[in-house]
Structure 1
Amino acid sequence: MIKVKKPTYYAMLILTLSGPALAQEGPSYDDTVSFIRDKIETKIHSFEVDKKTCGISISSKDQLQSEIFSFSLADVDPSEIRTNRSSITINIINYNDRIRRDWQISSSACRSDEKCSGTDYTGSIFLTALNKNPDNSERLGRAFEHLVRICGGREQLF
Protein backbone atom coordinates (compact mmCIF):
# COMPACT_ATOMS: atom_id res chain seq x y z
CA MET A 1 0.00 0.00 0.00
CA ILE A 2 1.28 3.47 -0.88
CA LYS A 3 1.48 5.94 1.97
CA VAL A 4 0.23 9.43 1.17
CA LYS A 5 0.76 12.37 3.47
CA LYS A 6 -2.41 13.95 4.82
CA PRO A 7 -2.02 17.35 3.04
CA THR A 8 -1.44 15.58 -0.29
CA TYR A 9 -4.40 13.28 0.33
CA TYR A 10 -6.71 16.21 1.08
CA ALA A 11 -5.53 18.16 -1.96
CA MET A 12 -6.18 15.12 -4.18
CA LEU A 13 -9.60 14.63 -2.60
CA ILE A 14 -10.57 18.27 -3.15
CA LEU A 15 -9.46 18.18 -6.80
CA THR A 16 -11.29 14.90 -7.40
CA LEU A 17 -14.54 16.15 -5.89
CA SER A 18 -14.39 19.60 -7.49
CA GLY A 19 -13.72 18.30 -11.03
CA PRO A 20 -17.36 17.75 -11.99
CA ALA A 21 -18.35 21.05 -10.39
CA LEU A 22 -15.74 22.91 -12.45
CA ALA A 23 -16.98 21.24 -15.63
CA GLN A 24 -20.48 22.54 -14.97
CA GLU A 25 -19.55 26.21 -14.50
CA GLY A 26 -21.81 28.65 -16.28
CA PRO A 27 -25.35 28.20 -17.55
CA SER A 28 -26.87 24.73 -17.61
CA TYR A 29 -27.30 22.67 -20.77
CA ASP A 30 -31.03 23.48 -20.91
CA ASP A 31 -30.50 27.21 -20.32
CA THR A 32 -27.84 27.33 -23.04
CA VAL A 33 -30.03 25.54 -25.59
CA SER A 34 -32.94 27.86 -24.72
CA PHE A 35 -30.74 30.93 -25.19
CA ILE A 36 -29.54 29.72 -28.61
CA ARG A 37 -33.13 29.02 -29.72
CA ASP A 38 -34.09 32.57 -28.79
CA LYS A 39 -31.22 34.13 -30.76
CA ILE A 40 -31.21 32.12 -34.01
CA GLU A 41 -33.06 33.61 -36.96
CA THR A 42 -36.03 31.24 -37.04
CA LYS A 43 -37.03 32.11 -40.61
CA ILE A 44 -33.72 30.68 -41.78
CA HIS A 45 -32.58 28.17 -39.17
CA SER A 46 -34.07 25.70 -36.77
CA PHE A 47 -32.20 23.21 -34.69
CA GLU A 48 -32.72 20.18 -32.50
CA VAL A 49 -30.28 18.88 -29.93
CA ASP A 50 -30.34 15.38 -28.47
CA LYS A 51 -29.46 15.85 -24.81
CA LYS A 52 -28.26 12.25 -24.35
CA THR A 53 -25.88 12.12 -27.33
CA CYS A 54 -25.23 15.85 -27.92
CA GLY A 55 -26.13 15.25 -31.54
CA ILE A 56 -27.38 18.40 -33.24
CA SER A 57 -29.40 18.94 -36.39
CA ILE A 58 -29.57 22.44 -37.89
CA SER A 59 -31.78 23.18 -40.86
CA SER A 60 -31.49 26.12 -43.21
CA LYS A 61 -33.98 27.03 -45.90
CA ASP A 62 -34.40 29.77 -48.45
CA GLN A 63 -36.41 30.08 -51.66
CA LEU A 64 -33.98 28.02 -53.71
CA GLN A 65 -32.53 25.38 -51.42
CA SER A 66 -32.92 23.63 -48.09
CA GLU A 67 -30.10 22.07 -46.08
CA ILE A 68 -29.91 20.00 -42.91
CA PHE A 69 -26.59 19.75 -41.07
CA SER A 70 -26.12 16.93 -38.54
CA PHE A 71 -23.15 16.36 -36.26
CA SER A 72 -22.06 15.71 -32.70
CA LEU A 73 -21.16 18.73 -30.60
CA ALA A 74 -18.43 16.59 -29.02
CA ASP A 75 -16.63 16.60 -32.42
CA VAL A 76 -16.39 20.40 -32.53
CA ASP A 77 -13.32 22.32 -31.36
CA PRO A 78 -14.84 25.06 -29.14
CA SER A 79 -11.94 27.43 -29.85
CA GLU A 80 -12.81 27.37 -33.57
CA ILE A 81 -16.30 28.83 -33.21
CA ARG A 82 -15.95 32.20 -34.93
CA THR A 83 -18.19 35.24 -35.06
CA ASN A 84 -18.22 37.93 -37.69
CA ARG A 85 -19.70 41.27 -36.59
CA SER A 86 -20.25 42.64 -40.10
CA SER A 87 -22.31 39.76 -41.44
CA ILE A 88 -23.72 38.66 -38.07
CA THR A 89 -22.85 35.02 -38.72
CA ILE A 90 -21.22 32.27 -36.73
CA ASN A 91 -18.94 29.73 -38.35
CA ILE A 92 -18.75 26.34 -36.66
CA ILE A 93 -15.69 24.37 -37.79
CA ASN A 94 -15.23 20.62 -37.46
CA TYR A 95 -11.80 19.54 -38.72
CA ASN A 96 -12.85 15.91 -39.00
CA ASP A 97 -15.38 16.79 -41.74
CA ARG A 98 -18.06 15.01 -39.74
CA ILE A 99 -20.79 17.54 -40.41
CA ARG A 100 -23.32 15.73 -42.56
CA ARG A 101 -25.11 17.96 -45.07
CA ASP A 102 -28.36 16.78 -46.66
CA TRP A 103 -29.45 19.24 -49.32
CA GLN A 104 -32.29 19.68 -51.78
CA ILE A 105 -32.91 22.31 -54.44
CA SER A 106 -36.51 23.48 -54.64
CA SER A 107 -38.52 21.94 -57.47
CA SER A 108 -39.06 25.35 -59.08
CA ALA A 109 -35.30 26.01 -59.24
CA CYS A 110 -34.09 22.52 -60.16
CA ARG A 111 -33.50 21.75 -63.83
CA SER A 112 -34.08 18.24 -65.15
CA ASP A 113 -30.44 17.91 -66.21
CA GLU A 114 -28.96 18.48 -62.73
CA LYS A 115 -28.85 16.66 -59.43
CA CYS A 116 -31.51 18.20 -57.18
CA SER A 117 -30.67 16.57 -53.84
CA GLY A 118 -27.88 14.74 -52.09
CA THR A 119 -25.71 14.14 -49.06
CA ASP A 120 -22.13 15.19 -48.48
CA TYR A 121 -19.85 16.06 -45.59
CA THR A 122 -18.39 19.42 -44.74
CA GLY A 123 -16.14 20.95 -42.13
CA SER A 124 -18.05 24.16 -41.39
CA ILE A 125 -21.47 25.75 -41.30
CA PHE A 126 -22.75 29.30 -40.86
CA LEU A 127 -25.57 30.46 -38.59
CA THR A 128 -27.30 33.84 -38.69
CA ALA A 129 -28.02 35.76 -35.48
CA LEU A 130 -31.57 36.96 -34.78
CA ASN A 131 -31.15 40.64 -35.66
CA LYS A 132 -28.61 43.19 -36.80
CA ASN A 133 -27.27 43.74 -33.27
CA PRO A 134 -23.59 42.67 -33.48
CA ASP A 135 -23.61 41.76 -29.78
CA ASN A 136 -26.10 38.97 -30.51
CA SER A 137 -23.61 37.29 -32.82
CA GLU A 138 -20.87 37.30 -30.20
CA ARG A 139 -23.22 36.13 -27.45
CA LEU A 140 -24.56 33.35 -29.69
CA GLY A 141 -20.99 32.30 -30.47
CA ARG A 142 -20.15 32.14 -26.75
CA ALA A 143 -23.32 30.12 -26.12
CA PHE A 144 -22.39 27.57 -28.81
CA GLU A 145 -18.86 27.38 -27.44
CA HIS A 146 -20.25 26.73 -23.95
CA LEU A 147 -22.65 24.06 -25.29
CA VAL A 148 -19.80 22.34 -27.13
CA ARG A 149 -17.73 22.27 -23.93
CA ILE A 150 -20.68 20.88 -21.93
CA CYS A 151 -20.96 18.12 -24.54
CA GLY A 152 -17.27 17.22 -24.32
CA GLY A 153 -15.84 19.14 -27.29
CA ARG A 154 -12.11 19.64 -26.90
CA GLU A 155 -9.59 21.97 -28.48
CA GLN A 156 -7.17 20.53 -31.04
CA LEU A 157 -3.75 19.75 -29.54
CA PHE A 158 -1.75 21.62 -32.17
Structure 2
Amino acid sequence: MILAVIVLGMTAYAQMVMRPYHNGSVWNIAFIRMKPGMETAYLNYLTTDWKRAQEAAKQEGIILSYKVLSTESHGGNDWNVLLMTEYKDLATMEANETKADTLTQRVIGPDEKQRQGYRDRSEIREVVGDRLAREVILEPRKQ
Protein backbone atom coordinates (compact mmCIF):
# COMPACT_ATOMS: atom_id res chain seq x y z
CA MET A 1 0.00 0.00 0.00
CA ILE A 2 2.76 2.42 0.93
CA LEU A 3 4.60 1.56 -2.30
CA ALA A 4 1.47 2.34 -4.32
CA VAL A 5 1.15 5.76 -2.65
CA ILE A 6 4.83 6.51 -3.35
CA VAL A 7 4.51 5.48 -7.00
CA LEU A 8 1.34 7.56 -7.43
CA GLY A 9 3.05 10.52 -5.79
CA MET A 10 6.09 10.19 -8.04
CA THR A 11 3.86 9.93 -11.12
CA ALA A 12 1.92 13.05 -10.12
CA TYR A 13 5.18 14.93 -9.46
CA ALA A 14 6.63 13.84 -12.81
CA GLN A 15 3.54 15.15 -14.57
CA MET A 16 3.91 18.51 -12.79
CA VAL A 17 7.56 18.97 -13.79
CA MET A 18 7.59 20.96 -17.00
CA ARG A 19 10.80 21.23 -18.93
CA PRO A 20 11.21 24.71 -20.42
CA TYR A 21 12.74 23.29 -23.61
CA HIS A 22 12.54 20.51 -26.15
CA ASN A 23 15.09 18.86 -28.38
CA GLY A 24 15.54 20.21 -31.87
CA SER A 25 17.58 19.07 -34.82
CA VAL A 26 21.08 17.58 -34.74
CA TRP A 27 24.07 19.37 -36.26
CA ASN A 28 27.30 17.80 -37.48
CA ILE A 29 29.90 20.55 -37.10
CA ALA A 30 33.38 20.39 -38.63
CA PHE A 31 36.04 22.80 -37.32
CA ILE A 32 38.37 23.70 -40.21
CA ARG A 33 41.59 25.70 -40.30
CA MET A 34 42.29 27.13 -43.75
CA LYS A 35 46.01 27.33 -44.26
CA PRO A 36 47.50 30.81 -44.76
CA GLY A 37 46.99 32.07 -48.30
CA MET A 38 44.64 29.19 -49.16
CA GLU A 39 41.31 30.82 -48.33
CA THR A 40 40.24 31.27 -51.96
CA ALA A 41 41.26 27.74 -52.91
CA TYR A 42 39.30 26.20 -50.03
CA LEU A 43 36.25 28.40 -50.54
CA ASN A 44 36.31 27.40 -54.23
CA TYR A 45 36.10 23.74 -53.13
CA LEU A 46 33.21 24.54 -50.79
CA THR A 47 31.39 26.37 -53.58
CA THR A 48 31.73 23.42 -55.96
CA ASP A 49 31.98 19.81 -54.73
CA TRP A 50 30.98 20.36 -51.10
CA LYS A 51 27.95 22.50 -51.95
CA ARG A 52 26.88 20.13 -54.73
CA ALA A 53 26.95 17.19 -52.30
CA GLN A 54 25.06 19.17 -49.63
CA GLU A 55 22.38 20.28 -52.09
CA ALA A 56 21.93 16.72 -53.35
CA ALA A 57 21.57 15.45 -49.76
CA LYS A 58 19.04 18.18 -49.07
CA GLN A 59 17.00 17.27 -52.17
CA GLU A 60 17.04 13.60 -51.14
CA GLY A 61 15.78 14.49 -47.65
CA ILE A 62 18.97 13.25 -45.97
CA ILE A 63 19.73 16.66 -44.44
CA LEU A 64 17.61 19.69 -43.58
CA SER A 65 20.16 22.43 -44.23
CA TYR A 66 23.82 23.40 -44.14
CA LYS A 67 25.87 26.47 -43.29
CA VAL A 68 29.41 27.74 -43.64
CA LEU A 69 30.60 30.20 -41.00
CA SER A 70 33.95 31.94 -41.03
CA THR A 71 35.76 33.70 -38.21
CA GLU A 72 39.23 34.87 -37.33
CA SER A 73 41.45 32.30 -35.69
CA HIS A 74 42.98 32.99 -32.30
CA GLY A 75 46.23 31.14 -32.76
CA GLY A 76 48.18 28.98 -35.16
CA ASN A 77 46.18 25.81 -34.54
CA ASP A 78 42.73 27.38 -34.13
CA TRP A 79 39.88 26.87 -36.60
CA ASN A 80 38.58 29.65 -38.82
CA VAL A 81 35.70 27.92 -40.64
CA LEU A 82 32.72 25.92 -39.37
CA LEU A 83 30.96 23.55 -41.74
CA MET A 84 27.54 22.81 -40.28
CA THR A 85 25.13 20.17 -41.57
CA GLU A 86 21.67 19.90 -40.02
CA TYR A 87 19.79 16.60 -39.64
CA LYS A 88 16.23 16.09 -38.40
CA ASP A 89 17.51 13.95 -35.53
CA LEU A 90 20.21 11.44 -34.67
CA ALA A 91 18.08 8.45 -35.65
CA THR A 92 17.44 9.91 -39.12
CA MET A 93 21.13 10.72 -39.58
CA GLU A 94 22.17 7.17 -38.70
CA ALA A 95 19.37 5.56 -40.73
CA ASN A 96 20.45 7.45 -43.86
CA GLU A 97 24.20 6.60 -43.74
CA THR A 98 24.03 4.08 -46.60
CA LYS A 99 21.83 6.39 -48.66
CA ALA A 100 24.29 9.26 -48.04
CA ASP A 101 27.27 7.10 -49.07
CA THR A 102 25.51 6.11 -52.30
CA LEU A 103 24.65 9.74 -52.98
CA THR A 104 28.27 10.83 -52.43
CA GLN A 105 29.46 8.14 -54.85
CA ARG A 106 27.04 9.49 -57.45
CA VAL A 107 27.75 13.20 -56.90
CA ILE A 108 31.50 13.21 -56.12
CA GLY A 109 32.71 9.90 -57.48
CA PRO A 110 34.03 6.52 -56.33
CA ASP A 111 35.98 6.00 -53.10
CA GLU A 112 39.40 6.50 -54.70
CA LYS A 113 38.37 9.86 -56.17
CA GLN A 114 37.02 10.89 -52.76
CA ARG A 115 40.27 9.85 -51.05
CA GLN A 116 42.31 11.79 -53.60
CA GLY A 117 40.16 14.86 -53.02
CA TYR A 118 40.73 14.54 -49.28
CA ARG A 119 44.50 14.31 -49.83
CA ASP A 120 44.39 17.34 -52.14
CA ARG A 121 42.41 19.38 -49.61
CA SER A 122 44.91 18.52 -46.87
CA GLU A 123 47.28 20.88 -48.70
CA ILE A 124 44.92 23.84 -48.22
CA ARG A 125 43.12 23.11 -44.94
CA GLU A 126 43.30 21.10 -41.75
CA VAL A 127 40.36 19.46 -39.99
CA VAL A 128 40.82 20.59 -36.38
CA GLY A 129 37.90 18.52 -35.07
CA ASP A 130 34.22 17.79 -35.32
CA ARG A 131 31.23 17.57 -33.03
CA LEU A 132 27.63 16.46 -33.03
CA ALA A 133 25.39 19.00 -31.35
CA ARG A 134 21.69 18.94 -30.57
CA GLU A 135 19.74 22.16 -30.87
CA VAL A 136 17.80 23.04 -27.72
CA ILE A 137 14.53 24.88 -28.38
CA LEU A 138 13.70 27.12 -25.42
CA GLU A 139 10.03 27.42 -24.54
CA PRO A 140 8.48 30.65 -23.26
CA ARG A 141 8.62 30.76 -19.50
CA LYS A 142 5.20 30.27 -17.94
CA GLN A 143 4.32 32.38 -14.93
The two structures have a TM-score, normalised by structure 1, of 0.28
Larger radius of gyration: 2
Q: Could you say which structure has the higher helix fraction?
A: 2
Higher relative contact order (CA 8 A, sep 6+): 2
